Amino acid sequence: MYFQLNQLSMTYPSGKKALKDVTLALKSPNLIGLLGPNGAGKSTLMQLLVAGLLPTGGEILLDGAPLLQSEQLLKSKLGYLPQTFGLYEELTVYQFLDYMAALKQIPDRKQAILSALSDTHLEDKKKVKIRTLSGGQRQRVGIAQALLGNPEFLIFDEPTVGLDPEERISFRNLFSRMAQERLVLLSTHIIEDVQSVCNQLIVIHHGCILFSGTPAELIQRAEGHVGIFEETSSLQETHVSITSRVNTSKGVICRAVADRLPVYVSPAEPTLEDAYLYLILQEDTK
């Protein structure tokens, strides 16, 4: 299964250009991280991929055919967790999934539900009412409904928002397991969610794709543009963008990115976060 996006654009009726000329290929199996600041266009792109929105320019091909012609096919192959997802508070987890499975016209609902519950480690919650669940458990229910019917293509819009660090790790493991045989696209603005598990990263900002490639390729781009220095009151921190400040016994150590590192900055190995910030900052200062 693959998606080809050709010069895809989306301008909302308000005049807001949320996506501008996006050309991308998404191939299965793969775990792809869609990374970008708030307002970058991540949710818009995902809604276009699930045919929940119609593009105002360009096209999306699914296995070579226009998405709208394949809409029925897409629905049967697709699992989607929107960014805001209402759960029916008074239903139990099982009842809710049964309802969603019925909407998706899944033939063997019981089997599909048990399998989704097992994949999301929710078996012991199936008889529990949704309103009693924690934030992380609710997100699991959202993911479980996306998994119903074992779709080949999974889209999760900011699935780790509101999760504690432990839950995040367990979700990451879940995503990489799911991506072994599928195309999983997940959006986030949290680097830790994508750095250890995604094979491909797509960075989007102001509706444009700034980067598509492996995490290692993104890091390479920032080589020679990252450094550290000790913060002193006399130093004028010019020509650098500080990405973090750490208190140490020796004082405050700053990490910074810059096109050209000033002499007071000692070069450092870029992390994925440095590379991402460098890319975004470069774009912002254009």
Binding stretches for ligand ADP (CB under 6 A): 12, 14, 16, 18, 36, 38-44
| Minimum CB distance to Mg ion, residue 52 (Å) | 13
- Could you tell which of ligand ADP, Mg ion, none binds residue 88, using a CB distance below 5 to 8 A set by kind? none
State yes or no: residue 160 binds Mg ion (CB under 5 A): no
Q: How far apart are CA 276 and CA 250, in angstroms?
A: 28
Q: How far apart are CA 110 and CA 264, in angstroms?
A: 64
- Could you tell which of ligand ADP, Mg ion, none binds residue 44, using a CB distance below 5 to 8 A set by kind? ligand ADP
State yes or no: residue 199 binds Mg ion (CB under 5 A): no
| Minimum CB distance to Mg ion, residue 43 (Å) | 3
Q: Which stretch binds Mg ion (CB under 5 A): 10-18, 40-48, 189-197, 265-273?
A: 40-48
Q: How far apart are CA 135 and CA 147, in angstroms?
A: 19
| Minimum CB distance to Mg ion, residue 234 (Å) | 43
| Minimum CB distance to ligand ADP, residue 38 (Å) | 4
| Minimum CB distance to ligand ADP, residue 286 (Å) | 18
Cβ proximity to ligand ADP, 12 vs 88, nearer residue: 12
State yes or no: residue 83 binds Mg ion (CB under 5 A): yes
Q: Give, for 242, the enclosing helix (H) or strand (E).
A: strand 241-248
36-58 burial string, b = 16+ CB within 10 Å, else e?
beeebbbbbbbbbbbbebebeeb
Helix (H, G, I), strand (E, B), or coil: what is residue 243?
strand
- Could you tell which of ligand ADP, Mg ion, none binds residue 39, using a CB distance below 5 to 8 A set by kind? ligand ADP
Alpha helices of 21-164 — where are they, by DSSP H?
42-49, 71-77, 93-103, 109-119, 135-147
Residues within window 94-133 making contact with Mg ion, judged by CB under 5 A:
none
Q: How far apart are CA 66 and CA 182, in angstroms?
A: 21
- Could you tell which of ligand ADP, Mg ion, none binds residue 55, using a CB distance below 5 to 8 A set by kind? none
Concatenated DSSP letters of 68-102:
TTTHHHHHHHEEEE-SS----TTSBHHHHHHHHHH
By beta-carbon distance, which residue lies closest to Mg ion?
A: 43
| Minimum CB distance to ligand ADP, residue 36 (Å) | 5
Nearest to 204 by CA among 2, 49, 30: 49
Interacting residues toward Mg ion by CB under 5 A: 42-43, 83
